[in-house]
Amino acid sequence: MKPALLALTLTALLAPAISQAATSSSTAAVSPEQYAQVLAGSWRVPQNALRDQYRHPQQTLSFFGLKPNQTLIEITPGNGWYSELLAPLLRDHGQYIAAVQAPNASDYARKNADTLQKKFSDGPSQYAKAQIVPFDPKAPSLGAAGSADTVLTFRNVHNWVLADTAPQMFQAFFRVLKPGGVLGVVDHRAHQGASLDEIKHSGYLPTEYVVKLATDAGFKLDAQSEINANPKDTKDYPDGVWTLPPALVLGDKDRAKYQAIGESDRMTLRFIKP
């Protein structure tokens, strides 16, 4: 057989295998090696990397079933702590979308939106495909119905509870997710049996209340994890959860004490859209 014909034949034979390998690698869970690469990424803000010990990003994202080919929406990512990990992991085969409050909602919302936009537009190629989608917190729309594989939100539910927009947000999550899609929630966890009315201004929330918000919207609780638990957190501070790192709103007062406690005790919940 002529060399050119042999090469063409081998290419034809190998093409399905190469295609299948590429497909299977993008549909498998994110590997430990991929996590190690992004966690050590030079594009990460150094102060953000220092918080890995409290936020357990690899374990948390693994618990939520992250795959490189997913369309994933992160709700109000703030300055982009998780964006630094999610955007690179999804860049080649998936899509990372940051859903932010419309900049005209408040000065705080405008500042966060501007910061995130600058991070994506001026940052390295790891953010090349990252998108930002604004939403009205009182009537949230996060994209076309059934267009997302995963919705994640980290330490935001307590803010929506204070703003009386939590039910609308969970309904928006349900609409945008595909059937079988995952909603992942992490938030500050109150003592078991705590009354919502008594503690909601502290930043902590009863787990059962958050579960009810999700199930009332149509979700099914799939699993809970203690990945982000902190038994040192006594949850009885002068300025609520913001007394602890990273906020440390009391400044230097008892700073060493609160740093020794670390960040808050957090619930980690995985829901499924039936």
pLDDT per position as a tens digit, 151-198: 999 999 999 999 999 999 999 999 999 999 999 999 999 999 999 999
pLDDT per position as a tens digit, 221-231: 999 999 999 99
Q: Is the peptide bond before 77 cis (omega within 30 degrees of 0)?
A: no
Q: Is the pLDDT of residue 5 over 70?
A: no
Boundaries of every domain in the chain = 31-272
CATH class of 31-272: alpha beta
Task: Compute the half-sphere exposure of residue 165: CA atoms within 13 Å on the CB side of its CA.
Answer: 16
Beta bridge partners of 101: 135
The one-letter code for the residue type at 117 is Q
Q: Is the pLDDT of residue 14 over 50?
A: no
pLDDT of residue 105: 85
Quickly state the pLDDT bin for 25 (edges 50, 70, 90): low
Strand residue runs (E) in the chain: 71-75, 95-101, 131-135, 148-154, 177-188, 220-225, 266-272
pTM for the whole structure: 0.90
Mean pLDDT of 26-49: 95
pLDDT of residue 129: 96
| Least confident stretch, 56-70, 113-127, 168-182 | 113-127
